[in-house]
Amino acid sequence: MYFEQFYLGCLAHASYLLASEGEAVVVDPQRDVELYMKAAEEHGVAIRHIFESHLHADFVSGHQELAARTGAKIYMGAQAGAMFPHVPVSDGFELKFGKASIRVLATPGHTPESICLVVTDEEKSPLPWAVLTGDTLFIGDVGRPDLSPKHIAVELAGMLYDSLHHKLLKLADNVLVYPAHGAGSLCGKNMRAERSSTIGTERLTNYALQIKSREEFVAQLTSNLPARPEYFLKDAEINRTGAAALSDLLPMRAIAPAELKPMLENGEIALDVRPGEEFVAGHVPGSVNIALSGQFASWAGTVLGLAAHPVLIAESDSQLEEARLRLARVGIEVLDGYLDGGVAAWRQAGLPVGTLAQITVSELDAQLQSSKVQVLDVRRGPEWEAAHIESAIWWPLDNFRVSPPEMDHDAPIAVHCKGGYRSMIACSLLQRAGFRHVTNIIGGFDAWQQAKLPSVSPKPVGA
């Protein structure tokens, strides 16, 4: 049997291609499906089956386009309520392809329709070889239970406990585990960086599987959940109805600097996808910087929302194409255009250029001694609780979709995250909101700790 994992780092998403005797199966495909077509062609196999482990909330799936291009059938959990042609599957459903087979385990919990796929390679053994766990079981974690509009988190957490202990943990310890996400995904909160594991390893090392009581499991799984971006529920609905093919997206139009200026004055969002250091040196005033180097699409979906129709600002056609694709992967499909010629053309038109101040952590420490600046920490809750600068104000970047922090627009504000990527986004959003003296802290809290500067953390229980 041929088996390949495709890992999309910007979304921390894993998808899979399995094939035996010329017949192939794709599991949890990403939006742009050409890579599966190419792999199938290279290995001389035909894609005949597509499985979705659940209705993904953090990205738009390519299952409908892949099915249209290959003639493959789509299989989904019976409770998904999918609105396109598909095969609804329940516990025990089995698909044979060549000398391999997939057996469905119904594993509700992350979502009601979640399934896991037990894979047997009959050329090697009649016993299960691996299980593709979707968002039910991760490496070091389990799926979050708060993504269903029809079930409250405690209900789903209870279902998840049952699915794990009565289904997945009944598999042999040597069965390989291949999840749909890795570290960095918001579908869990404690994932390790490895891309695969075994049932035995997870049984021994996964914190969630160490919780023996169902009640305690529910309590732990429903506390301190990472923020749920607004676009998650919308992506799940897109996946329920089936997304359009990428080739159906409208082309972007070129926008001259003189045309963009009044658009920005009327509230248009300009999304600058260049690296942070280039944004710092010069940018279109009021533009939002989300660099392509990080989890670009996730943060665009989080802070802009799927209804945003931004104008892209880039320095090359390749950057524009990459940004367009990555935005489409999370469901931002309608773009109002792009700045023709980028920031260079904006400068040449004689229009004002914005800049962003930056300081080192040692400079920040000196300023704090004289109370010249207010520190804004935009990291997520668990990061803040682990350690933070004592005088800092906490307002996670996830909250900026609702509103910027309630701070004096004229006061000096120094912004940090862990390493600098999120703080650049926050700084640009603050400038767009009218904050006049915004400074980015170079290297973020990592640099602060490396310099052995003081921080505080919650006292241990009972201290």
What is residue 342's three-state secondary structure? helix
Among 234, 231, 263, 280, smallest CA distance to 425 is for 280
- How confident is the prediction for the chain on average, in pLDDT? 95
Q: Which pLDDT score, from 0 to 100, does residue 461 have?
A: 40
Name 456's bridge partners: 388
Q: Which pLDDT score, from 0 to 100, does residue 235 have?
A: 96
User: Which strands make up the sheet holding 413-416, listed edge to edge?
Assistant: 357-359, 438-441, 413-416, 374-377, 393-394
Q: How far apart are CA 243 and CA 61, in angstroms?
A: 7
- Provide the CATH number for the domain formed by 2-241 in this structure: 3.60.15.10
* Residue located via tokens 């959940």: 225
> In 10 A of CB 66, how many CB atoms?
22
**What 8-state DSSP symbol labels residue 459?**
P
pLDDT over threshold 50, residue 242? yes
pLDDT over threshold 90, residue 348? yes
What is residue 230's three-state secondary structure? coil
Taking the whole predicted model, whether its pTM rises above 0.75 is answered as yes
Q: Which pLDDT score, from 0 to 100, does residue 462 have?
A: 37
H or E stretch at 266: none
Q: Which pLDDT score, from 0 to 100, does residue 65 have?
A: 97
pLDDT over threshold 60, residue 36? yes
Q: 53 pLDDT band (50/70/90 cuts)?
A: very high
Number of helices followed by number of strands (H, E) in the chain? 15, 22
Residue percentage of the chain with pLDDT more than 70: 99
pLDDT over threshold 60, residue 460? no
Which conformational region is residue 123 in: left (phi greater than 0), alpha (psi within -120 to 50 degrees), or beta?
alpha
Q: Give the pair of three-digit tokens for residue 263.
A: 């658009």
Indicate the angle between helix axes 421-432 and 296-303, nearest 10 degrees: 30
The residues spanned by each domain of the chain are: 2-241, 249-348, 357-450
pLDDT over threshold 80, residue 86? yes
Q: What is the pLDDT of residues 91-125, one digit of tens each?
A: 999 999 999 999 999 999 999 999 999 999 999 99
pLDDT over threshold 60, residue 228? yes
Using alpha carbons only, give the angle 237, 239, 245 rounded to the nearest 5 degrees.
125
Q: 289 pLDDT band (50/70/90 cuts)?
A: very high
Domains 2-241 and 357-450 equal at CATH topology level = no
Q: How far apart are CA 1 and CA 6, in angstroms?
A: 16
Mean pLDDT confidence for 331-353: 97
Mean pLDDT confidence for 296-315: 95
Q: What is the pLDDT of residues 363-391, one digit of tens each?
A: 999 999 887 799 999 999 889 999 999 99
Q: Which pLDDT score, from 0 to 100, does residue 187 have?
A: 79
State phi, psi for 313 to the nearest 5 degrees.
-125, 120
Contact 81, 240 (CB under 8 A): yes
Pick the residue with more confidence: 189 or 168? Answer: 168
* Residue located via tokens 């003189």: 258
Q: Which pLDDT score, from 0 to 100, does residue 372 have?
A: 79
Fold entry, domain 249-348: Oxidized Rhodanese; domain 1 (3.40.250)
Q: 392 pLDDT band (50/70/90 cuts)?
A: very high
CATH class of 357-450: alpha beta
Q: What is the DSSP string of 274-322?
A: S-HHHHHH-B-TT-EE--TTSSHHHHHHHHT-TT--PEEE-SSHHHHHH
Contact 295, 11 (CB under 8 A): yes
What is residue 214's three-state secondary structure? helix
User: What number of residues does the chain have?
Assistant: 463
pLDDT-wise least confident of 140-149, 184-193, 276-285, 320-329: 184-193
Q: Give the pair of three-digit tokens for residue 348.
A: 């040449």
Q: How far apart are CA 2 and CA 303, in angstroms?
A: 40
Q: Which pLDDT score, from 0 to 100, does residue 459 have?
A: 54
